[in-house]
Chains A and B, each alone.
Chain A
Amino acid sequence: MSTSKKEWRQARWSEPLVYEIGDPQKTGVILPYLDELPKLAERVGARPQGKVFREDTPDLPGLSEVETARHFNRLAQMSYGVDVGPVPLGSCTMKYNPKIFEEIVRDPRIKFLHPLQDEDTVQGLLEMLYLLERWLAELTGMDRCSLQVPAGAAGELAGALMIKKYHADRGEERDEMLVPDSAHGTNPASAAMAGFKVVRIPTSSRGTIDLEALRSVAGPRTAGLMLTNPSTLGIFEDEILEVAKLIHDSGGLLYYDGANLNGIMGIVRPGDMGFDIVHLNIHKTFAAPHGGGGPGAGVVCAKGDLVDYLPRPLIERDDSRYFWDYSCDKCIGSMRIFYGNIVPLLKGFLYIASLGGKGLREVAIQSVINTNYFITLIKNTKGYELPYDPSKPRKHEVVISAKPLLNDTGVSAGDVAKALLDRGLHAPTMYFPLIVDEALMIEFTESEPLETIEEYAKTLKEIAEQAYTNPGKIKEAPANTSVRRVDDVYANHPKTVTPTYRVYLKRLRGEIK
């Protein structure tokens, strides 16, 4: 017995807002030691009094435990993650998140550790973090890594600040950061936050960085180049050694955006390519879950002189113990309080511990097989094309363009995405990178079995076929998700934009126009 995917339906609970069902007098929390309160009040002999205190009870709706459970479970049922179906968002590396990691990190000997408790009481934890750092340095070809950065973008900011301080300490005024036009949006944003002027480098017709263009701008003002390799097109920068030499000869530094490591992990190392600073995302390549947007965890790694600039503290070891080293002659400081996002970092530790170097290498190879297997299945499908040298193998991801489909039928990449949702499949990253029109950026990772990839390719074909016969139907998608197509104009219009329930009520009362 088989069921067509077209019959897929997402839950549609029409779940009210907590404000519409809750009551400030209701509570579901069982507070500890409440019976002590009268005695405590008597012993303390005073109560909160004075102008800093409020008389009123905060106006927050409460629910009982069972109602809270139902409310959030219904919301969960109207959500979609890797455990529901494939989420092949390009550059997001949405791999499966092993459940054993979730179980281990909930051990009370992790959960109940205070960040400022004495180092001699957390030696086991520090040892795991020490090993994690060693392994990541080995995988990137760097000397040291700081576990401090809470996400990839924070790693980029750390890297950009390191570059800034490195040049400043040498008395050099270098204010330009070179960023390819195919780069993640976080690269130029991070460079700008660090105070750099961003210089955009075009992509050549081969899909790699335009070496001539790079040559024409690299010079005494160049602070560095922020590069992703393989690029967001999934194409390996085969002239990377020339690129590195060019930047280094001009006195600049090379920064590696590690969001795209998954296809080359254990096979090629950024350090060997000539990069000076690297960030990695534990929540992508190393299987920590993305949590609907976070928490992630990052590391920022460096080699040679740049190690001195890494954010502190670094994890260290001497003969008898592990400890945090705060010494900082040249370092940029700290990117966040304490040491890093420990829970996702530990999942990264568990992932590497489970697979070992050989396993990680097989992961990379499988992710590349999956990408290219998909390309083989989808190529020559009317409506889609593979921009930039189709003969080049892609790595962790591939970008296809729905431009022919749009030209022929009026159905856009965005429409294709919504049609995928209607068939129970999450859409790829859309309209990115910006250099590809009607881009659909797809990354299956090693997690997806061949059968899922086949189903995905088949569904994309069916959608294209439907676009040629009944484009109107696709323009109306989705119909099977918990809501129909969302009105982004209404959401953002100054007269209707509503970021909180508080604003919603003020609009109803006419207090905001």
Chain B
Amino acid sequence: MGSSRPIHWAPSSSDRDRSRALSVMGISDAFELYRDVPHNLILDKPPRAGFDRMLSEWELRLTVEKYLSKNTMYIDPPPFLGGGWCPHLVPALVDYIISRPEFLTAYTPYQAEINQGLMQALFEYQSLIADLVELDVVNASMYDGSTAVAEAFLMALRVTKKRKILVPEHMHPEYRRVVETWLYGKNALLVSVRYDEHTGRVSLGDLESKIDNETAAVYVENPSFLGSIEEDVEAMADAAHKKGALFIVKFEPISLGLLKPPGRYGADIAVAEGQPLGLGLNYGGPGLGIFAVRWDRKLVRQMPGRIIGLTRDAEGRRAFAMILQTREQHIRREKATSNITTNEALMAVAAAAYLTLLGGRGLRDLAQSIWLRSHYLAKRLSEIGVEAPVFESEFFKEFTTRFPKQYKAIHVELKKRGILGGLSLDRYWPEKSNECLFCVTELHSMKHIDKLVEAISEVIKE
């Protein structure tokens, strides 16, 4: 055991240092430190992991190159693919900031005095999100949008002590699967509310007929998974509140540059996927679960997750601390509001940096740019005889398109032309095989969009 050189990143694992440590401890063999482990459990040889030897940085790089070269990335044009996860700008500064080792290699700031900067960044994240959604209390993050929804539902069950939750039948299918998983241990009932086939919006009539005194929450996605922007949100909030239910809204953060924020139309809890705020694609993870709540003691006490608050130090100077920790698992154990501890703090810092770079005006400009580009694609598609958007309603960056033939075949042809097309809806609904969801963002130039439309035009003629 041991060698003359230390193994990677274990600086005192050389023979020299090990013998020094062992002699101070008065033992001759490091394995004596495992003397309390039953002998028959100890592996007789090292496990088969890695490539059976240590790799240097250089060898690691070459090894990984072999795998990376088998990946195809789409940047020119960027993917027209969404599903709640679209290509967006990641300013170089944002990645630079979250690469700062004081943030990157820190733990959760349990020692407040030595981590004030990190805590201020998280407080600023919470504050910026609060002003974005116009709700007063925001936690320091959930894992992603889907688990933020799951936690919101669990919170609604605790707050109302009721068990029924109304969800749109065209709720994001992956979100729905996550929510059903998280609620499995609870006696909860998800009830689907129909959507209007003409507008793609939640049917207010169906919602009102299904809401009752057993309803813990009404949940809407705005925009919906299929792209429609809801119009009757205030009426939905009223309907929920009349029956003592919470109104939970999932929003798209950049869309709030143009759309009214959920806090303005009666949301009790607003949740979102923070990926558009400078996180990048990264094959789907990490994300950022945004979680905001109305200022109401009853609600705040039942919130999940860590919260940073403003306070003062012993000399009366401004300082930051973790607050309301009696909700959390390390204090309340089985009575905690959630089991979450590791969250997505660094992604929250990224979002704070991005929102700071944008500013209110920049956010509006960005949202406008996206709105124009998605509408340009829809318009161009309809000019070549493709049904886009399928629904007669406002939309933001994603919208449903219907083709005269199966979308999958079109997708394959687009790929041959170097274009990553939309999301085929038969992934979730077999009957929607002619439909896809396109996502257009600030990264899609008119040329990119024209290229897509020209390719589609060729393909559907074939």
Contacts and interface: CB of A to CB of B under 8 A. Distances in A.
Contact of A499 (B2, B32, B112, B309): B309
A420 B51 CA distance: 41
Contact of A48 (B126, B366, B394): B394
Interface string B365-396: 11011011101100100000000000000100
Given A75-B117, A113-B282, A450-B20, A27 B359 contact: yes
A376 B103 contact: no
B282 A76 contact: no
B409 interface: no
A29 B89 contact: yes
Contacts of A217: none
A360 interface: yes
A34 B114 CA distance: 42
A354 B334 CA distance: 39
A283 B358 CA distance: 31
A174 interface: no
B404 interface: no
Interface stretch (B204-212, B213-221, B258-266): B258-266
B88 to A, nearest CB: 10
Contacts of A151: 143, 340-343
Interface string B312-333: 1111011111111100111111
A403 interface: no
Nearest to B373: A40
A266 B45 CA distance: 8
A52 B259 contact: yes
Interface in B145-180: 145-147, 154, 172, 174-175, 177-178, 180
Contact of B285 (A53, A127, A340): A340
Nearest to B106: A81
Contacts of B41: 240-241, 268-269, 272-273
Nearest to B360: A24
Interface in B1-53: 1-2, 7-13, 17-18, 20-22, 24-26, 30-38, 41-43, 46-53
B67 to A, nearest CB: 4
B185 A501 contact: no
A22 to B, nearest CB: 7
A106 B307 CA distance: 30
Contacts of A494: 297
A54 B258 contact: yes
Interface in B53-98: 53-55, 57, 60-61, 63-64, 66-75, 78-79, 81, 83-85, 87, 89-91, 93, 95-98
A89 B79 contact: no
A353 B104 CA distance: 22
A183 to B, nearest CB: 9
A97 interface: yes
A497 B443 CA distance: 41
Contacts of B10: 362-363, 366, 446-447
Interface stretch (B134-142, B191-199, B238-246, B454-462): B134-142
A160 B334 CA distance: 13
Contacts of A236: 34, 36-37
Nearest to A344: B286
A18 B128 CA distance: 9
A362 B7 contact: yes
Given A52-B260, A355-B54, A427-B111, A58 B43 contact: no
B136 A506 contact: yes
A1 interface: no
B105 to A, nearest CB: 3
Contact of B49 (A138, A342, A372): A138
B38 A240 contact: yes
10 contacts: A40-B372, A54-B261, A94-B107, A116-B83, A121-B71, A161-B184, A194-B185, A343-B285, A483-B319, A486-B311
Given A72-B349, A114-B284, A337-B178, 7 more contacts: A19-B127, A62-B361, A68-B93, A69-B97, A290-B105, A376-B25, A376-B26
Q: Which 9 A-B pairs have the closest CB atoms?
A: A62-B359, A115-B284, A293-B345, A195-B185, A333-B181, A124-B70, A291-B346, A81-B105, A78-B117
